[in-house]
């Protein structure tokens, strides 16, 4: 077997299934994880959930078992392609039509899970796999139900005092540890964040400091996507704003309603010129040593905004932004009016 991926809880290997005579993916407990009973139970729950969903946009499971050393493993379909995280790192911002295609497929898979009272709880680009299928240039497979929550099962596998999920993609109620409020609306929130990241190339809450990331999730409102990428229809800003509301009750009734509204808003006319200018600028920025947040700053400088305005919109600490601006100037990526900077 050869390793092909690793997550927070397991390692995935490519292997040959001797009875099925086909190559498969085998997910085993990470060697860095102690074989605690709750981890074994999570493997078992993931197998049960995936096998019950049986959806074309959910990865297929063939088997679940435990080795003689009491190590659990899953046998899954072997996928060829890349994760959405890899696609975003390479191509962001993605074309609007590609974003729509991906969002509708993920929403379809989540809807089936929610109908089965299952909340994924860790939806993020790394858990969305894009594989080529006949007639489908980016066929979605939803991965990793290892920390999902079964709303019908009152038994808790993990101590609820601990946060479960990836901080920058958590809904506020999840980030605050309010486990009783974690339901399908958390997945809707995460899906809206994924859409935002595909459209703009930025993740608004990411930070290497966990405390700061969680503070951003709970307190920071997302900058309208059209402020970063002018070709995004303003109607799409409204859809994302509602799905990303800090108040769960304000979000859409279910993930399919969000998907329908997203598709409808995405069909609204946009400025071709604004889109072309923005895409050309992003292509040029990829050749420079700048982050997506730096690219965002550059994309707004031309509009005559002050540095104070930029700091407020980008939700950056002044010292963090100052270092960034100095680096941009030193590498020739931008020039700033002295009077503007002093403001």
Which residue pairs from 321-325 have beta carbons closer than 8 angstroms and sit at least 24 positions apart in sequence?
321/297, 324/291, 324/293, 324/294, 324/297, 325/297
- CA dist., res. 119 & res. 113, Å (int): 7
pLDDT of res. 332: 47
Per CATH, the number for 81-266 is 1.10.510.10
Helix (H) or strand (E) holding 342: helix 338-342
- CA dist., res. 178 & res. 172, Å (int): 9
**Chain segment 94-112, per-residue pLDDT in tens:** 989 999 999 999 999 999 9
- CA dist., res. 100 & res. 233, Å (int): 13
pLDDT of res. 67: 76
Place of tokens 């931008």: 334
**What would the two tokens of residue 342 be?**
């002093």
Domain 2-77 bears CATH identifier 3.40.640.10: no
Tell me 123's DSSP state. -
Q: Which of 3-12, 214-223, 290-299 has the lowest mean pLDDT?
A: 290-299
Closest CA relative to residue 99, chosen from 127, 122, 121, 128: 128
pLDDT of res. 74: 86
% of the chain exceeding 70 in pLDDT: 71
For residues 28-46, average pLDDT:
72
Q: Where are the domains of the chain?
A: 2-77, 81-266, 288-342
- CA dist., res. 321 & res. 5, Å (int): 34
Find how far residue 307's CA is from the centre of its chain.
29
**What would the two tokens of residue 225 be?**
């996507």
For residues 277-297, average pLDDT:
53
For residues 162-179, average pLDDT:
85
% of the chain exceeding 90 in pLDDT: 33
Contact of 321 with 314, CB cutoff 8 Å: yes
Cis peptide before 93 (omega within 30 of 0): yes
CB-facing half-sphere around the CA of 55: CA atoms within 13 A: 23
For residues 56-74, average pLDDT:
84
Grade residue 22 by pLDDT with cuts at 50, 70 and 90.
Answer: confident
Greater confidence, 208 or 3? 208
Residue 55, pLDDT above cutoff 70: yes
pLDDT of res. 11: 84
Residues labelled as active-site residues: 122
Contact of 190 with 123, CB cutoff 8 Å: yes
By CB atoms closer than 10 A (0-12, 13-18, 19+), residue 34 is exposed
What 3-state class would DSSP assign to 136?
A: strand
For residues 204-208, average pLDDT:
86
- CA dist., res. 307 & res. 304, Å (int): 9
Residue 289, pLDDT above cutoff 60: no
Grade residue 273 by pLDDT with cuts at 50, 70 and 90.
Answer: very low
Closest CA relative to residue 43, chosen from 56, 22, 58, 61: 61
Question: Which whole-number Å values give the CA distances from 284 to 27, 86, 223, 302, in the listed order?
Answer: 40, 19, 23, 15
Angle at 7 between CA 48 and CA 152, to 5 degrees: 30
């Amino acid at each position: 077997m050869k390793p092909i991926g690793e997550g927070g809880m397991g390692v995935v290997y490519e292997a040959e299934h001797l009875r099925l005579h086909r190559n498969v993916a085998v997910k085993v407990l990470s060697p860095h994880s102690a074989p605690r009973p709750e981890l074994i139970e999570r493997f078992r729950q993931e197998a049960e959930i995936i096998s019950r969903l049986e959806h074309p946009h959910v990865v297929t499971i063939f088997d679940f078992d435990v080795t003689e050393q009491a190590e659990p493993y899953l046998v899954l379909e072997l996928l060829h392609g890349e994760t959405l995280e890899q696609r975003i790192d390479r191509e962001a911002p993605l074309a609007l039509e590609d974003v729509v295609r991906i969002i509708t497929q993920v929403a379809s898979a989540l809807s089936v899970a929610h109908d089965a009272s299952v909340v994924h709880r860790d939806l993020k680009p790394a858990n969305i796999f894009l594989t080529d299928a006949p007639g489908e240039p980016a066929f979605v497979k939803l991965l990793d139900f290892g920390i999902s929550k079964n709303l019908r099962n009152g038994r808790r596998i993990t101590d609820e005092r601990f946060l479960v999920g990836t901080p920058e993609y958590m809904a506020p109620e999840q980030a605050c540890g309010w486990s009783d409020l974690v339901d399908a609306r958390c997945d809707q929130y995460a899906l809206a964040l994924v859409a935002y990241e595909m459209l703009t190339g930025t993740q608004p809450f990411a930070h290497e400091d966990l405390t700061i990331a969680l503070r951003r999730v709970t307190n920071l409102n997302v900058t309208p996507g059209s402020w970063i990428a002018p070709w995004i229809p303003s109607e799409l800003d409204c859809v994302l704003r509602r799905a990303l509301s800090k108040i769960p009750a304000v979000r859409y009734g279910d993930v399919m309603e969000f998907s329908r509204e997203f598709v409808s808003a995405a069909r609204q006319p946009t400025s071709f010129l604004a889109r072309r200018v923005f895409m050309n600028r992003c292509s040029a920025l990829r050749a420079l040593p700048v982050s997506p947040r730096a690219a965002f700053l550059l994309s707004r400088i031309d509009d005559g905004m002050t540095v104070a305005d930029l700091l407020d919109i980008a939700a950056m600490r002044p010292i963090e932004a100052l270092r960034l601006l100095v680096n941009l100037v030193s590498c020739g990526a931008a020039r700033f009016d002295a009077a503007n900077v002093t403001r």
